[in-house]
Structures are given as structure tokens and as C-alpha cells.
Amino acid sequence: MAKILCVLYPDPVTGYPPVYARDSIPSITGYPGGQTVPDPDALGFTPGQLLGCVSGELGLREYLEAAGHELVVTSDKDGPDSEFEKHLPDAEVVISQPFWPAYLSAERIAKAPELKLALTAGIGSDHVDLDAAIKAGITVAEVTYSNSISVAEHAVMQILALVRNYLPSHQWVVDGGWNIADCVERAYDLEGFDVGIIAAGRIGQAVLRRLAPFDVNLHYFDTRRLPEEVEKELNLTYHPDVQSLVSSVDVVDIHAPLHPQTYHLFDANLINSMRRGSYIVNTARAEITVRDDIVDALRTGQLAGYAGDVWFPQPPAPDHPWRTMPHEAMTPHVSGSTLSAQARYAAGTREILEDYFASQPIRDEYLIVAGGALAGTGAASYTADGKASPGAE
């Protein structure tokens, strides 16, 4: 019998379950590139349900308890007196989500001698100290591709929201106004803009494909160049480094993983090398930017807008300056947790647990760390050099 410690975001303040806006969600069977969606033996939920919060339990309780395991679900994740730290010493499996991350630092891993599997219900395991996990022989897995398209759609939405000045215009309506000049004094068409994507992986490529019909000039930088036919098809301009890209575009959209090469990449120096009035959308990780340099650039007008859904830490303090900085269109970390995405990452979490408890191999594409080394997707996306996951601290 194993103890599974699952950290999920709190229930809606209006109560659980919610009144659902729709009765079903579309059935998606595969991802671009051919990977199939999660395929567990059974589902303990109806797709479209709210699963990522405490009462949603990722639909796992019945399955785990029927197999004799103990499931503890909590949102109380920070500090030495948290429920998370209370249950950590005898937990064999920890499940967490990037939206409400239970930071598995080296110190916490040292307090978890029974821990064998750290599972991310979603994508992005930088809240786990991967070097410490490697040393402790812990397997780290995530549900690769489960919410990549969800994030891509959110990024496109936030680019449009900034460039067209959507949220301030909406606010005039809510406030009873009809202030057209106030709305449009910062509104532009996206058409004709130079838009640059940093990292053309699963999410970045999905954004490129979604933006191509807007008749923008698409640019990208990635450590690995895309095949020539893709560059031609989408009419992409490749840049050999970040500096070249950011000085050539009006909008920068970030989709790189957080690792030592991207940590605090967007500092005052880089931002000041951008065109005046550029926009940044960042749904990758907040720590890719320097928090206060973003605020300063918005105040001076060097940046015309900043949006994204990733913060550090999460949740951010009530006085986090990104809540009140000018020309922002931030959301909480929600892009990858739509009801559509939840159905996929909850099913993927169950698939990984089924394989783990049956001592079957976990799909290679879900693995980040296994057998004391980076593995699968982790071997491609992370580096083990003592600073594999700066966000974990």
C-alpha cells in the first residue's frame, strides 16, 4: 500500500461542483506529430469536469483506494507546518501541478525517504529540484503534450489582447463608459507586425501555426532549427540568437523551458535592445524574466505591454508588482488548466500511476528523470549540471 500525496489548487470560492457552462468537450485523439492522448485502463471522471482542484482529486480516489492505496489531497503546500510537509515523510508518490506547484526542493526531498515518483499533472517539472531527484533515485514524470495546445491558444489570445488594447476597452464598458478615443489610443492591428517566438517546440510551433493566417511576419529562435519545409510553409525568419530576434520584432512570445540558459534572460539590457513599444507574452516561466525590469520597462514605455500566466512564486503575494504594473494583461496560471486540458492531464496522471504500480515502463515521452539520470523528454528539455531547475528553490 502506498501513500499518494496530491497537491491541487483550492476549490472555487463559489463551491464545488460548479455549474458547467457546457455539457461536453470535444474528443481529441492525438497530437501534432503523432503522439497519442493518454490511454489509461479506465477513467474515474467524466471529461469536462473540474478535476484540477482539491474536490476534483484528478478523478483518482476510487481507483487508488480500490487498489488499497491512501490518497491525501491538499492545497496547503507552503511552509514547514503545511499539510504537504506533514505527509511528505511517508509519501511514495507526490502529484503536483505547475499551476499550484508544491515546490520539491532538495531540502524537502531529503525529508521524503519513501518518495519514488514525483508526478506533474501537466507539463513543466521545474518546481522539482531535478538534481536532488536524480541523486535520490526518484522518477519524475509529466503528461507531455496534455496542455500544449491550450497554452498556445492562450498565448495567441494574450498577444491580441495587448496589441488591440482589449482589457482597458472592456473596462470602459464595465464602468458605464463609451470612451472610444480612450480605448483606441493604444490599439493596433496585428496584421503586418513582426512577431518573434522564442523556442519552437510543441507550444511554440502551435503558436506559429495559429498566427500564420494573421498575415504577420513570423520570426523565431530555437537552439534547434526547424526543418526547411516548415520554415518555408510558415514563411519563418530564423534568428541565430535571442538578441537578433528581439531587436527585429514588435511582439516577443516566449515558450522556452526554464533552465540556466534562460533564467533571467529578459533583463534590462535585453529589454532595452528591443524596439520601443514592444510587447512580451510569456506563458513559459516567470523566472525567464527579471520581475522588476519588466515593471520598469512598462513604466518608461520601452515595453508597450506584458502578458502571460506564469508568476514566481505561485501564488504571488497580494502586493506582487505584476498585479498593478501598467499595460499588463496577466492571468493567474490558467492557460494549461482549461477543462479540456484537465481531462487529458488527469487521464495521463492515471496512466502513469497504472504503469508505476504495475511495474510497467512509463511512456518515454512522459519521463523527465528515471534511473538516476535525465530521461525521455527530460533528457531533451533539461540539463543536469547542478542547476537543472532553478524554479524549485
Residues assigned a catalytic role: 147, 285, 314, 333
Q: Residue 376 to residues 293, 342, 393: CA-CA distances in angstroms? A: 35, 23, 24
Rounded to whole angstroms, the Cα distance separating 122 from 344 reads 9
Task: Pick from 285, 327, 350, 363 the residue near ligand NDP by CB under 6 A.
Answer: 285
Segment lying near ligand NDP (by CB under 6 A), choices 60-68, 166-174, 252-260, 363-371: 252-260
Q: Please, are residues 314 and 99 in contact by the beta-carbon 8 Å criterion?
A: yes
Beta carbon nearer to ligand NDP, 92 or 222? 222
Beta carbon nearer to ligand NDP, 64 or 104? 104
Rounded to whole angstroms, the Cα distance separating 121 from 142 reads 6
Name residues contacting ligand NDP, limited to 195-224 (CB under 6 A). 198-204, 221-224
Q: In angstroms, what is the C-alpha Rg of the chain?
A: 21
Binding mask 91-110 for ligand NDP (x = CB under 6 A): -------x------------
Compute the residue count for the chain: 393
Task: Pick from 92, 131, 293, 309 the residue near ligand NDP by CB under 6 A.
Answer: 309
Task: Pick from 158, 262, 302, 314 the residue near ligand NDP by CB under 6 A.
Answer: 262
Q: Work out whether 112 is an interface residue with ligand NDP (CB under 6 A).
A: no
Rounded to whole angstroms, the Cα distance separating 333 from 314 reads 8
Task: Pick from 335, 342, 349, 389 the residue near ligand NDP by CB under 6 A.
Answer: 335
Alpha helices in the chain (DSSP H): 61-66, 83-87, 106-110, 130-136, 148-163, 166-174, 180-184, 202-211, 228-234, 242-246, 268-272, 291-300, 339-357, 376-381
Q: Work out whether 235 is an interface residue with ligand NDP (CB under 6 A).
A: no
Segment lying near ligand NDP (by CB under 6 A), choices 24-32, 229-237, 249-257, 351-359: 249-257
Q: Please, are residues 93 and 25 in contact by the beta-carbon 8 Å criterion?
A: no
- Rounded to a whole number of angstroms, the minimum distance from the CB of residue 90 to ligand NDP is 30
Beta carbon nearer to ligand NDP, 285 or 344? 285
Q: What is the DSSP string of 89-120?
A: GG-SEEEEBTTB---B-HHHHHT-TT--EEEE
Q: Work out whether 363 is an interface residue with ligand NDP (CB under 6 A).
A: no
347 by DSSP, 3-state: which?
A: helix
Comparing CA positions, the residue from 220, 205, 214 lying closest to residue 32 is: 205
Q: Work out whether 147 is an interface residue with ligand NDP (CB under 6 A).
A: yes
- Rounded to a whole number of angstroms, the minimum distance from the CB of residue 43 to ligand NDP is 22
Comparing CA positions, the residue from 150, 157, 186 lying closest to residue 171 is: 186
Q: Work out whether 255 is an interface residue with ligand NDP (CB under 6 A).
A: yes
Task: Pick from 52, 56, 124, 348 the residue near ligand NDP by CB under 6 A.
Answer: 124
Segment lying near ligand NDP (by CB under 6 A), choices 76-84, 169-177, 281-289, 361-369: 281-289
Instruction: Count other Cβ atoms within 10 Å, centred on residue 54.
Output: 17
Q: Work out whether 284 is an interface residue with ligand NDP (CB under 6 A).
A: yes
Binding interface with ligand NDP (CB under 6 A): 98, 122-124, 147-148, 151, 198-204, 221-224, 255-258, 261-262, 283-285, 309-310, 333, 335-336, 380-381
